Structure 1
C-alpha cells in the first residue's frame, strides 16, 4: 500500500552519498531539493553546500535545484553555487522534474534525485521515473504544514524499514 512512497535509497545526509560511485554507475545528473536537504529552511548556501557542488562539478555531474520555493529564495541560494534551478516547482508534479533533466541534458536512467520529504520530493521523483534518495531532514524546526506531513512520513518509513 505504501510502496509507491518508498524511497529507492535512504541516507543520513546529502553530504554522505557516494557520488563518485554513482558516477561510475553511469549517473550524470543530480537534482536536489534545498530546504532541509542541503541547509536548514531559508538558510543561504553554506560552505558545506558550496564544497558539495564544487565536488559534483569536479566529478563530472550536472546539477539542478528543484524547489517549491519562490525565485528570490532559490536564486539567493544558488548565487555562489551556479547550477541550474527551477523554483515554484509544484512538487510532486512531474513536469519540472522533466524540465530539470532537460536543463542538465540527462534522462530518467542517468539522473538521481535527493530530497528530505516523502510526499513531495520522493513521490515526485518516483512518478517521474527517477532514482531517488531520501535524506534525513537537517533541522527539526519546520513550518506547520511540513510538521503534519512528517507524522504521516513516520508511518510510511516504519513500513519501509
Structure 2
C-alpha cells in the first residue's frame, strides 16, 4: 500500500549524495526540488547551492529545478545558478517530470529526482519510474500543510525501513 511512496534511496542531504558515483552508474540528469531540499523554505540560492550546480555541470550532469512555487520564487532562487527550471509544476502530477526530462535531453531511466517530501516529490517521480532520493529537510520550520504531511511521512518511512530490514524491498 505504501510502496508507491517509497524512495529508491535515502540521503541526509542533497549535498551529501555521491554524484560522481551516480554518473558512473549511468545517470545523466538530476531534477531538484528547491525548498527544504536545497535551501530553507523561501531562501535564495546559497553559495553552497551555487557550488553544487557548478560541480554537477563539471561532472557532466544536466539539471533542472522542478517546483510547485511561483515563477518569481524559482527565478529568484535560480538567478545565480542558471539552470533549467519548471515552476508551478503541480507535483506529484507526471506531466512536468516528463517535461523536465525532455528539457534536459535525458530519459526517465537516466535521470534522478532529489526532494524532501514523499507525497509530492518522491511519489511524482515514482509514478513515472524515475530513480528517487529522499533527503532530510534542511530546516524544521515549514508551512502548516507540510507539517501535517510530515506526520504521515513518518508512518510511511517506518514501513519503508521495516521492509528494507526484512529484505522485502531492496534499496537501489
| TM-score, reference length from structure 2 | 0.93
Q: How is 1:64-103 mapped onto 2 (pairs within 5 angstroms)?
A: 64-103=64-103
Shift of residue 55 of structure 1? 0.2
Q: Does 1:120 align with 2:113?
A: no
1:118-155 superposed Cα distances (whole Å, 9 cap, x missing partner): 00000000002110000000000000000010000000
Aligned equivalent of 2:16: 16
Alignment RMSD: 0.4
Aligned equivalent of 1:58: 58
Q: Distance in 2 between matches of 1:145 and 1:136?
A: 17
Helix, strand or coil for the counterpart of 1:85? strand
Q: Does 1:144 align with 2:144?
A: yes
**What count of residue pairs does the alignment treat as equivalent?**
161
Q: Distance in 1 between matches of 2:153 and 2:120?
A: 11
Q: Distance in 2 between matches of 1:135 and 1:47?
A: 19
Q: How is 1:24-43 mapped onto 2 (pairs within 5 angstroms)?
A: 24-43=24-43
Which blocks of at least 5 consecutive residues in structure 1 are unaligned?
Answer: none
Helix, strand or coil for the counterpart of 2:65? strand
Aligned equivalent of 1:160: 160
Q: Distance in 2 between matches of 1:132 and 1:154?
A: 17
Q: How is 1:129-140 mapped onto 2 (pairs within 5 angstroms)?
A: 129-140=129-140
Helix, strand or coil for the counterpart of 2:113? strand
Aligned equivalent of 2:5: 5
Q: Distance in 2 between matches of 1:6 and 1:127?
A: 11
Q: Distance in 1 between matches of 2:79 and 2:60?
A: 20
